[in-house]
Amino acid sequence: MYALERPPHQSSAALDDVRSPRIRALYDYWKSKCNDVVPPPRSAIEPAEIRPLLPYLLLTELTAAPFRISYRLVGTAVVRWHGEDFTGRDHGAVPSLAESGIEESYRQSVATRAPVFGRTALYAGDQSWIGFDYAVFPLSDNGKTVNKCLAIECIGPSEATASDAASVGDDSSERPPAAPADSAESRQPGQHERQGRR
């Protein structure tokens, strides 16, 4: 049972604080795409290589002045938990993310060019909150400025199985994802994406 007041937001740059097997699997994948200490570009992320994680992922585009987070892709599990598809919308226009603390994690990831791990909560109705773990992984198309992020949200203490984590990076897996197929960009299952005008 959760209290009426939102549980406090927590964030950390330490992988040791991460409990979710899915987040750890995405970290390993993101790290494998990095060149030394430079975040990988968006083009290095291959949806087929992280198929089991697709329903839980978000792809964001960032602008610096003023700082803005725009959701370009929202996985189907994330849509289900939030009760709406906020693909194509800015962070401030998503009621379920208001005062969640996630914006600060994006700012930290941009400043440090490193992943940020956190825990916050969604309002579940009936005066209760549902806690979830998340991570934000920076992406850089020019090798200098973080202009996109790959993020993941995971509800539940141990929501992934060992086989889920083991199959990340293996595009030969034929297991279906946990959510229905729907993707505009990659035609991979478990995602929604809308290209905004720039």
- Long-range pairs, 68-74, Cβ under 8 A, ≥24: 69/103, 69/106, 69/149, 70/196, 72/148, 72/185, 72/193, 72/194, 72/195, 72/196, 73/183, 73/185, 73/191, 73/192, 73/193, 74/191, 74/192, 74/193
For residue 36, what pLDDT is reported? 76
For residue 168, what pLDDT is reported? 67
Residues 150-189: tens digit of each pLDDT: 999 998 644 444 445 555 665 443 333 333 333 333 334 4
Is residue 4 included in any domain, yes or no? no
Q: Which residues of the chain have pLDDT under 50?
A: 1-2, 157-163, 171-189, 191-198
For the chain, the domain total comes to 1
For residue 28, what pLDDT is reported? 97
**Residue 96 belongs to domain spanning:** 10-162+176-193
For residue 195, what pLDDT is reported? 45
**How far, in Å, are 31, 72, 124, 170, 175 from residue 137 at the CA level?**
9, 15, 27, 20, 25
Is residue 3 included in any domain, yes or no? no
For residue 159, what pLDDT is reported? 46
For residue 124, what pLDDT is reported? 74
Is residue 2 included in any domain, yes or no? no
Helical residues (DSSP H) of 34-156, grouped into ranges: 76-82, 102-112
- The mean pLDDT value of the chain amounts to 82
Is residue 1 included in any domain, yes or no? no
Domain at 53, CATH number: 3.30.450.20
Is residue 198 included in any domain, yes or no? no
Is residue 72 included in any domain, yes or no? yes
Is residue 169 included in any domain, yes or no? no
Q: What is the pTM of this model?
A: 0.80
